[in-house]
Amino acid sequence: MPKNKYILEFDMKGTPASLLWQYISTPNGLRQWFADDVEQDGKHFTFYWDNYPTEAVQLSLRSGERIKFRWADDDDKCYFEFKISVSELTGKTQLIVTDFADSGEEEGSKALWDKQVKALKRMLGC
Query: What CATH number is associated with residue 44?
Result: 3.30.530.20
pLDDT at 75: 82
pLDDT at 69: 97
Q: What is the number of structural domains in the chain?
A: 1
Q: Considering all CA atoms of the chain, what is the largest pairwise distance in Å, rounded to the nearest integer? A: 43
pLDDT at 66: 97
pLDDT at 90: 85
Burial of 73 per CB tally in 10 Å (0-12, 13-18, 19+): exposed
Higher pLDDT, 91 or 41: 41
**Structural domain of 83:** 4-124
CB 57 within 8 A of CB 64: no
What average pLDDT does range 55-84 have in this prediction? 95
